[in-house]
Amino acid sequence: MDNLKLLFSNLGDPEYLRLLLEPVPIYGLMLGIIAFIAAFVFKERKMQVGALLLIMISATAGLPFLKEHSDTGIRADKSHAGQSEQIAVQQKTQEEAQWAYLAVAGLAGVTLLMGAHKGMPGLIVGITTIGAGTCLVIFGMAMHSQVHRPSFAGNPGKVKNPVATQRQALKAKATAQITEPR
């Protein structure tokens, strides 16, 4: 019961909500695109509807937490010492890219209304939805990796391996003990 109380109290924390919701658009879009491609190949209308709804929900799921970046950015800057400038740039970029999430959701809605197998216009809108969704997944993964794993963003010096650091400290301590005169 204590864990449930802790969970519910943490859900009111904007930083915790951001941590939970941040990967939802990325993984939801990825699964929705894969499902839509499969539905398109097999010409399954019900599966297409489900996949397009998943794309629409996933694309709009991350929008509420993007507004919370300003609340969570202050604490994230303190917890990621030395990365505050990078986090601020990443947050601004994500906030400016809200239109892309809405555009993909809109494209999925248009594809849902038109039907992907309804002639050439439906095919073009369906392929455009797949392409735009894929670009958004790649963008989201890039933005996510820049803050959470700076070594992926080409800054290997900023990430320290805690196990290696601890090993080096123990090794230095052991060396100091061996070399001390008794």
108 in any annotated domain: yes
Q: Which CATH number is 47's domain given?
A: 1.20.120
Please give the pLDDT value at position 81: 53
For residue 44, being part of any structural domain is answered with yes
Q: Does the residue 182 lie in any domain?
A: no
Q: Tokens 């070594």 sit at which residue?
A: 151
Residue 94 domain boundaries:
2-148
How far is it, in rounded angstroms, from Cα 66 to Cα 95? 6
The secondary structure of residue 68, as a DSSP letter, is: T
In a domain, 169, yes or no: no
Q: Give mean pLDDT in consecutive 10-residue pieces for the chain, a chain of 182 residues.
A: 79 75 86 94 92 94 64 49 66 80 93 85 91 91 67 48 62 69 61
| Domain membership flag for residue 153 | no
Check residue 151 and give its pLDDT.
46
Among 82, 84, 85, 23, which residue's Cα sits nearest to residue 58?
A: 23
Count how many domains the chain has: 1
What are the Cα distances from residue 72, in Å, to 3, 78, 105?
23, 10, 26
Assess if residue 59 is contained within a domain. yes
